């Protein structure tokens, strides 16, 4: 008989020992996390259909508060897909993009990922998108 980790986990979960059950559950969740992070940025990028501008912000950040109306103007006037992500709602793939401050605006998709570093106005964002 060969090594069968699923059989071992099943047996551990049927155990009468709470410690063994908790350890088996932890192992399953840890392995699941490892597999999903292995998909990483490449998998996230592949899941983006077309190009998308993503605005990463943090509630309470004064720079984000000042930029919010400009983002809303840009998002409502552009043909490009847009997404607004609050820092506490970032998923694992979004965290791998290298967001290291707020606000961060990124282009994802076939032309990205690219961080936007220009002026924080709707017109400047649209001009940057048009020049890609």
Higher pLDDT, 45 or 67: 67
pLDDT of residue 39: 41
Q: What does the pLDDT look like over 62-92, one tens digit per residue?
A: 999 999 999 999 999 999 899 999 988 887 7
Mean local confidence (pLDDT), 111-127: 92
Higher pLDDT, 96 or 52: 52
Structure tokens at 44: 């996230």
Higher pLDDT, 36 or 27: 27
Instruction: Please list the alpha-helical segments (H only) found in 14-105.
Output: 18-47, 62-77, 92-95
**pLDDT-based confidence at residue 49 (cuts at 50, 70, 90):** low
**pLDDT-based confidence at residue 29 (cuts at 50, 70, 90):** low
pLDDT at 5 over 70: no
Q: Which residues, including other chains, have CB under 8 Å from residue 44's CB and lie 6 or more apart?
A: 93, 94, 96, 97, 108
Assign domain 48-130 to its CATH superfamily.
Glutaredoxin (3.40.30.10)
Place of tokens 């890609």: 132
**pLDDT-based confidence at residue 38 (cuts at 50, 70, 90):** very low
Q: Report the distance separating Cα 99 and Cα 106, nearest Å.
A: 9
Q: Name the percent of the chain lying above pLDDT 70.
A: 74
Where exactly are the structural domains of the chain? 5-40, 48-130
């Amino acid at each position: 008989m060969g090594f069968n980790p699923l059989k071992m986990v099943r047996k551990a979960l049927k155990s009468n020992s709470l410690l063994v059950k908790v350890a088996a559950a932890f192992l399953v969740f840890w392995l699941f996390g490892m597999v999903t992070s292995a998909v990483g940025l490449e998998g996230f990028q592949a899941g983006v259909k077309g190009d998308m501008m993503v605005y990463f912000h943090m509630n309470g950040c004064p720079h984000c508060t000042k930029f919010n109306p400009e983002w809303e103007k840009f998002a409502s006037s552009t043909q490009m897909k847009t997404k607004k992500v609050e820092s506490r709602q970032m998923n694992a793939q979004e965290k791998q993009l290298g967001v290291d401050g707020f606000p961060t605006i990124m282009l994802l998709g076939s032309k990205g990922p690219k961080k936007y570093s220009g002026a924080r106005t709707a017109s400047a964002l649209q001009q940057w998108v048009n020049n890609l």
